[in-house]
C-alpha cells in the first residue's frame, strides 16, 4: 500500500508569475516493513497575457533524505 503526506508548501508571486515549492513524503510497505521516502516538489505558473489562462510547469520530484 502506498500513502502520501503533504508537508509544508510555500507560494511566491511575482506579477503574472508564481512559484509553489514544498515537500512531501510517501510511504509504502515492502517486505513487511514501512519505508518512508521524503521528496521535494516545485510548480511554476505563468498567466498568459493573450488568453488569461495559466501555463503550469511541473518539475519532477527530487528525493532528499536530509529534509
| Domain edges within the chain | 2-63
pLDDT score, position 12? 94
**pLDDT grade for 16, boundaries at 50, 70 and 90:** confident
Closest residue by Cα to residue 37 from 49, 29, 45: 29
Point out which residues pair with 31 in neighbouring strands: none
- Quick check: 65 pLDDT over 70? no
**Degrees, nearest 5: CA angle 59-51-58:** 5
What digits encode the pLDDT tens for the residues 18-64?
A: 889 999 998 988 888 999 989 888 888 887 766 666 666 665 555 55
CB 59 within 8 A of CB 43: yes
pTM of the model: 0.61
Please name the fold of domain 2-63: Nuclear Transport Factor 2; Chain: A, (3.10.450)
State the Cα–Cα distance between residues 22 and 50, nearest whole angstrom. 30
pLDDT score, position 31? 87
Amino acid at each position: 500500500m502506498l500513502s502520501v503526506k503533504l508537508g509544508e508548501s510555500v507560494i511566491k508571486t511575482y506579477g503574472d508569475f508564481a512559484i509553489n515549492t514544498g515537500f512531501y513524503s510517501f510511504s509504502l510497505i515492502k517486505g513487511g516493513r514501512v519505508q518512508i521516502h521524503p521528496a521535494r516538489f516545485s510548480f511554476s505558473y505563468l498567466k498568459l497575457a493573450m488568453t488569461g489562462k495559466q501555463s503550469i510547469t511541473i518539475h519532477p520530484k527530487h528525493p532528499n533524505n536530509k529534509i
